[in-house]
Amino acid sequence: MSKSSVAIDELITVCSASGLRRTAALEACLRVLATAEQPMTLQQIASDPAFGVSCDPATIYRLITRLEERRIVRRIGFHSRAAHYCLREGSHQDYLICRDCGSVEVLDIACPVEHLEKQIAEESGFSDLEHELEFFGRCLACQK
């Protein structure tokens, strides 16, 4: 059994425990997101060759929304761009977003506000605190 199929089986177990039925569409969404190198729009998820299931776009939207509500998937809102989605894995990711072409890159450095998040949690009494950090600019390709 491959590493990604084990991960998908684990995700399906988590989904089942949270009340989601195991369907071909659920498996397809998890398969695509588990192998994605960066967050994806609903359209990108549905059109990915790994999706491999005929499915109504509204069904994919409802499914992704349910995964987001159960904190299995993270929704990333890029201002005026379409929302992107990725699996929530261990630690969060921060992103660089190109204002011109909309490309998304994972910020590949330690989170610059993690210590602040801990301080805010301690001082405010909030628990389960999280944040999203997105930097907007122009990618190398758009600068040419």
* Whether residue 39 sits in one domain with residue 72: yes
Query: What is the structure's pLDDT at 65?
Result: 95
Counting other chains too, the contacts that 22-26 makes at CB distance below 8 Å and 24 or more residues apart are: 24/53, 24/55, 25/53, 25/55, 25/59, 25/60, 25/63, 26/63
Query: What is the structure's pLDDT at 61?
Result: 94
* Whether residue 77 sits in one domain with residue 10: yes
* Whether residue 138 sits in one domain with residue 125: yes
Domain count, the chain: 2
What is the C-alpha separation between 113 and 49, in angstroms, rounded?
37
Please give the C-alpha separations between residue 118 and each of 22, 30, 65, 96, 131, in angstroms, as whole numbers.
Answer: 36, 31, 28, 23, 11
* Whether residue 47 sits in one domain with residue 33: yes
> pLDDT 10s digit of each residue in the chain, 144 long?
444 555 888 999 999 999 999 999 999 999 999 998 888 999 999 999 989 889 889 999 999 999 999 989 988 876 667 888 888 876 677 888 888 888 888 888 888 788 888 889 899 999 888 887 888 899 999 998
Query: What is the structure's pLDDT at 20?
Result: 93
Contact present, 95 and 107 (Cβ < 8 Å): yes
Q: In which domain, by residue range, is 138 found? A: 91-144
What CATH number corresponds to the domain at position 114?
Answer: 3.30.1490.190
* Whether residue 132 sits in one domain with residue 68: no
β-pair partners for 87: 73
Q: Domain boundary at 51, 70, 90, which? A: 90
Query: What is the structure's pLDDT at 3?
Result: 46
Query: What is the structure's pLDDT at 101?
Result: 86
**Which three-class secondary structure state does DSSP give residue 8?**
helix
* Whether residue 66 sits in one domain with residue 7: yes
Please name the amino acid found at residue 26. L
